Amino acid sequence: MLESFSSKAILTKARAMYGKQLTGADYQELLRKTSVGEIASYLKNQTHYREVLENVQETTIHRGQLEDLLRMERFSRYSRLLHYQFSKRDEVYRMLIYEAETEQILTSMRLINAQSPEQYIISLPTFLMEHTSFDLMKLARVKSFEDLLGVLRKTPYYEVVRAVAPAPGRLIDLVACETALMKFSEERMLRISHRDFSGAQRRELEKLVSIRVDIYNINTLFRIKTFFPQQDALRCCISGLPSRIPKSMRERMLASETPQQFLQEVKNTIYGAFFRDDEPYSIEGSTQRARFVRDKSQMRDSSFAPVVVAAFLSLCRTEVNNLINIIEGVRYGVPREDIEALLIVS
Cβ-based neighbours of 86, under 8 Å, separated by 6 or more: 6, 10, 93
Task: Report how far apart, in Å, the C-alpha atoms of 90 and of each of 140, 187, 196, 203, 232 are.
Answer: 30, 17, 9, 18, 38
Cβ-based neighbours of 33, under 8 Å, separated by 6 or more: 39, 42, 326, 330
Residue 316: Cβ-neighbour burial (10 angstroms; 0-12, 13-18, 19+) = buried
Residue 147: Cβ-neighbour burial (10 angstroms; 0-12, 13-18, 19+) = middle
Per-residue pLDDT of the chain (346 residues; tens, 9 = 90+): 335 547 888 899 999 999 999 999 999 999 999 999 999 999 999 999 999 999 999 989 999 999 999 999 999 999 888 765 444 457 888 888 999 999 999 999 999 999 999 999 988 888 889 889 999 999 999 999 999 999 999 999 999 999 999 999 999 999 999 999 999 999 999 999 999 999 999 999 999 999 999 999 999 999 999 888 888 887 789 999 999 999 999 999 999 999 999 999 999 999 998 887 666 556 888 999 999 999 999 999 999 999 999 999 999 999 999 999 999 999 999 999 999 999 999 8
pTM of the predicted model as reported, rounded to 2 decimal places:
0.89
| Three-class SS of 308-326 | HHHHHHHHHHHHHHHHHHH
Q: Is 56 left (phi over 0), alpha (psi -120 to 50) or beta?
A: beta
Nearest of 201, 223, 189 to residue 98 by alpha carbon: 189
CA 183 to chain centre: 14
Nearest of 5, 12, 3 to residue 308 by alpha carbon: 12
Q: Which amino acid belongs to residue 160?
A: V
pLDDT of residue 88: 45
Long-range contacts of 258-265 (CB under 8 A, 24+ apart): 258/225, 259/222, 259/225, 259/226, 262/221, 262/222, 262/225, 263/222
Give the C-alpha separation, 309 to 307, whole Å. Answer: 5
Domain locations in the chain as residue ranges: 8-86+306-346, 90-196, 198-301
CA 200 to chain centre: 25
pLDDT of residue 119: 93
The DSSP 8-state label assigned to residue 256 in this structure reads: -
Query: 8-86+306-346, what's its fold?
Result: Topoisomerase I; Chain A, domain 4 (1.10.132)
Helix (H) or strand (E) holding 4: helix 2-18
Residue 247: Cβ-neighbour burial (10 angstroms; 0-12, 13-18, 19+) = exposed
Q: What angle, 0 to 180 degrees and rounded to 10, lies between the N-to-C axes of helices 24-31 and 36-46?
A: 150
pLDDT of residue 285: 86
As a whole number of Å, the end-to-end CA separation of the chain is 37
Q: Residues 112, 222, 325, CA angle at the centre, nearest 5°?
A: 70
pLDDT of residue 59: 87
